[in-house]
Structure 1
Amino acid sequence: MAKIIPFKAVRPIADKVALVTCRTYDDYSPAELAAWLNFNPYSFLHVINPAYANLHKISTDKRFKGVAHKYRDFKEENILITEENPVFFLYEIQTKSGIFTGIIAGTSVKDYQENVIRKHEDTLQYRVELFKEYLHKTNFNTEPVLITYPDSIEINTFIGLRKKTNPVYEFSTTNKEKHTLWKIDTQSEIDWLQEHFEKIPNLYIADGHHRSASAELLYEQNKHTGKENLQYFMSFLIAESNIKIYEFNRIIRDLNGLSKEEFIKKLSQNFIIKPKDQELWKPQNKNEFGMYLDGSFYALFYKGNKNEKGILDNLDAQILYNKVLHPLLGIGDLRNDERIDYIPGKQSVSAIKDLIDEGEFEVGFTLYPIDIEEIKTIADENLIMPPKSTYIEPKLRSGLVVYEL
């Protein structure tokens, strides 16, 4: 049974919400970041990126303390306000990719530890430790973990009716997205949602494995304090049919000493290769791969038996690693090898072509996206997908809702 709780959220005052909220920090180029910080004094980027001009010169500890100080400034200036009582939120994002609607709530660290909230990605300990320290020093989090739940007619009906009421916010952003937030604050609605989520046996992390692992570590190291908020972490709960799963495509800097002819000959041992010339070809089914090499596109069809091994070995990302990236191109560490990079599948295939034509990379591979049932099966079997197997939307804005610890 999944436990969710309302919480006393901190959020922007209504007349400044479009100015305060921002994309995830990593989404901004240095030029964009400088522009927003110079021309928008209300941007939450000022909180999460204090003293940006000298960022490389200050210690992590000073930076985190700067975040906490700037956050307090935003609250003292009434740019951010605090709810009087614990609430849930209903949140809808309209993008070019679709309309995504879910519930912002606190989810249980205990559920995470007991595998009620299930995982499918590995985490890097240094990143878990770093974000744990960030949470400890700043005492807030504004990036919810994206969690899916099985589609529910009752919850869908509740959401549909709730969307007909007046929202707290309704605003658009410069990247042409529309955001709407409703507050769920009556005790009857809160009880109803909690009761219905208690009937759900498992939740699944779609995006945010490091954030949830950091929340667990922070709880374990500070549970003696008795702070209730440490027992939960903020999540955006969305029906599994409402997420959009893209692949991560791969680009590699060289052929590991092989000539083009040698590489294609070795590829043909495991793949049927069909030249596509200048057609921007993408895989249409599982076990199909696109390749761009030396100015031409190719379709690769895996010869292996789809049912010969378990779910993990049948993942396209794993097949590409087992049959191409590791044995032929000599890439062992998918996270840290500087010879490989990743392009989200929502970007055009032409982006891969351009990078390779410019000469920095030599070959690129496109994959077919994984589906939610594969993710759930892997999580249910306590398996771990290869790094960069999925790029999942929606991506949530920082500074819209803040969970204080």
Structure 2
Amino acid sequence: MSLIKPFAGLRPAPGRAAEVAAPPYDVMSTAEARTMVADRPWSFLHISRPEVDLPEGVDPYGAAVYERARANLATMIDEGILVRDPQPRYYVYRLTMGAHRQTGLAVTASVAAYENDRIRRHELTRPVKEDDRVRQIEALGAQTGPVFLVHPSTPAIDDRLEAVTRRDAPEVDITRADGVRHELWSIAEPEPIAELTAAFEALPALYVADGHHRCAAAARVAARRRDAMPNQDGDTPADHFLAVTFPHTQMQVLDYNRVVRDLNGLDAETFLRRVGEVFEVTPSGAPVKPVRPGQFGLYLDGAWYLLAIGVERIPQDDPVARLDVSLLQEHLIGPILGIADPRRDERIDFVGGIRGLGGLTARVDSGEMCLAFTLFATRIEDLMAVADAGAVMPPKSTWFEPKLADGLVSHLLD
């Protein structure tokens, strides 16, 4: 079975993409989603966050929510808002955010390759979130949120995609309220489809950047269908999951910073002294945004400090332990602030770099949090090294921008 396959995508009808396209389902609260769908009857949030059409306080994991998603999808198809392409194809998907641009390919990726670690993961998943995606896929008979994949950059793929964007006008060209431009081209001709399929087949692996729960859910749905129909050939639509894959050289990974509620019973002077036993601590008259690995910014009591950890403390032979998020946790957040499990401890929170340094200082200055840390952004090569080692990254290690839109192309399983 090939690593990727073309598919007949379900897409907004011509001229409807701006009405349909929505942010990923998991980047907003229910209240925010309700605001976003006001006066937008065809927003894809009616499918990805269907609780917006039910009374406030409804259980977002209740049966009524998935049933509403199914009904809303059927309505959008019946009304001609969403239309399925007549034959399988690939879709070139370009994202532009300011001066940054990345060009990838929307595909269906092999569940078997995911299960056999040729599509490599780097995060743990939470059962409740997996269960939610399983129920969503089964209710819809479709995968609607693409997994964000990364492939090792190669001219055999990347040059072909660029050639498509130079040759043809995009079939979809919209700029959303956040300023991100989304463009889509389709490739339906047999020869370029075969060439792209072969070029991906030659790669050693693909990497999950974002969407671990969607991958895991797709694998569970595929397994259920195989159990129910054991005579299948293993190459049905459910044996593949919706994804967009981008070259690793085009990824924009932002910093993922930390705020902490208290000093673990220490006063500021004692805390800084203990930090200074491990890090070089330098007061800074300006906000600190680290410019290299091993540097950290600390904001405490209205003042900024630059922290630097010695090279001798960085284990270069361990792809997880050498990450900045691991070094900060191992040498400061754990032993000094007493937060052993940042995945579950409510004293710590995480702030994506898209919110800027002001998103950190505001939470400290308000008194909600006591201190903040800024980190150098995790490099995509480090993510790939962790995945290649079969290891797991610490929680909240990467923040990818820009985000894919939901609704521009979906994968029907039936």
| TM-score when normalising by structure 1 | 0.95
- CA distance in structure 1 between the partners assigned to 2:179 and 2:310 by the alignment: 43
Distance 1:255 1:97, change over 3 A: farther
Q: 2:366 aligns with which of 358, 364, 369?
A: 358
Q: 1:131 aligns with which of 130, 133, 137?
A: 133
Of 90-99 and 229-238, more deviation after overlay is shown by 90-99
Paired residue for 1:299? 306
8 A Cα contact 1:18 1:171, kept in partner: yes
The amino acid of 1:209's aligned partner reads H
Distance 1:173 1:260, change over 3 A: same
Distance 1:309 1:263, change over 3 A: farther
Counting only pairs closer than 5 Å after superposition, residues 2-401 of structure 1 correspond to structure 2 as 3-28=3-28, 32-52=32-52, 53-58=54-59, 60-96=62-98, 98-163=100-165, 164-224=167-227, 225=229, 226=232, 228-277=236-285, 279-303=286-310, 305=312, 306-307=314-315, 310-401=318-409
Of 297-306 and 103-112, more deviation after overlay is shown by 297-306
User: Identity across aligned pairs (percent)?
Assistant: 30
Q: Secondary structure at the match of 2:321?
A: coil
- CA distance in structure 1 between the partners assigned to 2:317 and 2:119 by the alignment: 26
The amino acid of 1:172's aligned partner reads T
Cα deviation per residue 1:223-264 (whole Å; 9 max; x = unaligned)? 133381111001101110011111210000111111111111
Distance 1:371 1:81, change over 3 A: same
8 A Cα contact 1:2 1:202, kept in partner: no
Cα drift, residue 31 of structure 1: 6.0
Cα drift, residue 194 of structure 1: 0.7
Cα drift, residue 55 of structure 1: 4.7
Of 102-111 and 279-288, more deviation after overlay is shown by 279-288
Distance 1:51 1:4, change over 3 A: closer
- CA distance in structure 1 between the partners assigned to 2:403 and 2:62 by the alignment: 26
Where in structure 1 are there 5+ consecutive unaligned residues?
none
8 A Cα contact 1:100 1:394, kept in partner: no
Kindly tell me the number of residue pairs found equivalent between the two proteins.
404
The amino acid of 2:37's aligned partner reads L
- CA distance in structure 1 between the partners assigned to 2:63 and 2:31 by the alignment: 25
Stretches of 4+ moved more than 6 A in 1? none
The amino acid of 2:85's aligned partner reads E
8 A Cα contact 2:173 2:184, kept in partner: yes
The amino acid of 1:284's aligned partner reads V
Q: Secondary structure at the match of 2:159?
A: helix
Cα deviation per residue 1:13-70 (whole Å; 9 max; x = unaligned)? 1111101111123444666533432311121122223352525234621111110111
Q: Secondary structure at the match of 1:378?
A: helix
8 A Cα contact 1:116 1:203, kept in partner: yes
Q: Secondary structure at the match of 2:406?
A: coil
Of 234-243 and 127-136, more deviation after overlay is shown by 127-136
Distance 1:108 1:374, change over 3 A: same
Q: Secondary structure at the match of 1:38?
A: coil
Of 58-67 and 310-319, more deviation after overlay is shown by 58-67
Cα drift, residue 97 of structure 1: 5.6
- CA distance in structure 1 between the partners assigned to 2:30 and 2:395 by the alignment: 26
8 A Cα contact 1:2 1:116, kept in partner: no
8 A Cα contact 1:223 1:230, kept in partner: no
Cα drift, residue 317 of structure 1: 0.5
Cα drift, residue 280 of structure 1: 1.0
Q: Secondary structure at the match of 2:355?
A: coil
Distance 1:381 1:308, change over 3 A: closer
RMSD over aligned CA atoms reads 1.8
